[in-house]
Every structure is written in structure tokens, then in C-alpha cells.
């Protein structure tokens, strides 16, 4: 239920909250966004991606999830991280600069949400999940 309601709101709206704010507030929100991405979105998204991959064995869902997690990681990891040390300096700077940073971050979140949505949709369509499925805007009970 969390990945159907809270995760989409956090992953899409949080990067957009700082747009147009005062420089101090924007910087604070920017750092908060990095912390939420690294400590909530990546672990929860990684868990959802792992569950989707193991239960569906769908290569395209796995690819969307992995690419989404990678984009979120690249946009939110520290500039001095060993993860980014393999890239040239201008790429690292681009990943952490204004619009490009937001685009990469939101694109990663969108890929995760798309993979999660289609994973839920395929489970609900097959009826192989005994519980609630969120498809579109409705929640429906799948027969056991």
C-alpha cells in the first residue's frame, strides 16, 4: 500500500517543492531531497524492484527498475563519492546542476513508478496475488 500511495508522492513532488523558493529554503529542501532519496526511495524502490523481478521474471520490468534506481543514485550521491569517480568532472557537475539534476532524478523516479505500476497490474491481471492491488486510481480485492 505504501508503494502505491506514499512513494509516488515523495518521488515526484519532493524534487519539485524547491522550485521558486528562497535560496536558503531551496538549499535546505535540496539536501532533504538527497537524504530522502538515499535513505528512503532507493531502499524501498530497491526492495520493490527485487520483489517485482523475482515474482514476475520480466526483463523489461527489471531493466526499468535498475535504470530508475541508477538514475536516482547518480543524481543524489555525493559529488565526492567513489560511485561518481568513474565519470569525467563535467558529467559529475552536470548531474548535480539545476535542471539536469532534477530531470535525471525525476526520470529515475518515473522509471521506478512505471515498473512498479506494471508489476502490480500484471499481478492483479493474473490473480496470482492474494491481497489488494492498486490499479489506476482504484483499489480492488483480488480473489484468493
Q: Choose between 9 and 102: higher pLDDT.
A: 102
DSSP codes, 78-89? -TTSTTGGGS-H
Residue 71 reports pLDDT greater than 80: yes
d(Cα 15, Cα 32) in Å, to the nearest integer? 10
**CA 108 → CA 15, 60, 136, 137, distances in Å?**
12, 15, 20, 22
d(Cα 138, Cα 106) in Å, to the nearest integer? 24
Residue 131 reports pLDDT greater than 50: no
d(Cα 21, Cα 89) in Å, to the nearest integer? 28
pLDDT tens per residue across span 28-48: 777 887 888 888 888 988 888
* DSSP summary character for residue 57: -
Grid cell digits, residue 59: 526483463
Q: Are 99 and 115 in contact (CB under 8 A)?
A: no
Residue 130 reports pLDDT greater than 60: no
Q: Are 9 and 1 in contact (CB under 8 A)?
A: no
pTM of the model: 0.69
Amino acid at each position: 500500500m505504501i508503494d502505491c500511495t506514499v512513494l509516488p508522492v515523495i518521488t515526484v513532488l519532493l524534487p519539485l517543492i524547491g522550485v521558486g523558493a528562497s535560496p536558503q529554503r531551496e538549499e535546505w529542501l535540496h539536501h532533504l531531497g538527497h537524504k530522502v532519496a538515499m535513505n528512503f526511495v532507493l531502499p524501498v524502490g530497491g526492495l520493490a524492484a527485487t520483489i517485482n523481478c523475482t515474482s514476475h521474471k520480466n526483463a523489461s520490468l527489471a531493466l526499468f527498475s535498475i535504470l530508475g534506481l541508477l538514475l536516482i543514485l547518480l543524481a543524489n550521491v555525493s559529488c565526492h563519492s567513489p560511485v561518481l569517480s568513474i565519470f569525467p568532472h563535467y558529467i559529475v557537475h552536470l548531474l548535480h546542476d539545476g535542471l539536469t539534476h532534477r530531470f535525471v532524478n525525476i526520470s529515475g523516479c518515473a522509471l521506478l513508478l512505471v515498473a512498479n505500476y506494471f508489476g502490480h497490474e500484471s499481478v492483479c491481471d493474473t490473480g496470482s496475488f492474494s491481497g489488494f492491488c492498486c490499479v489506476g486510481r482504484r483499489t480492488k480485492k483480488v480473489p484468493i
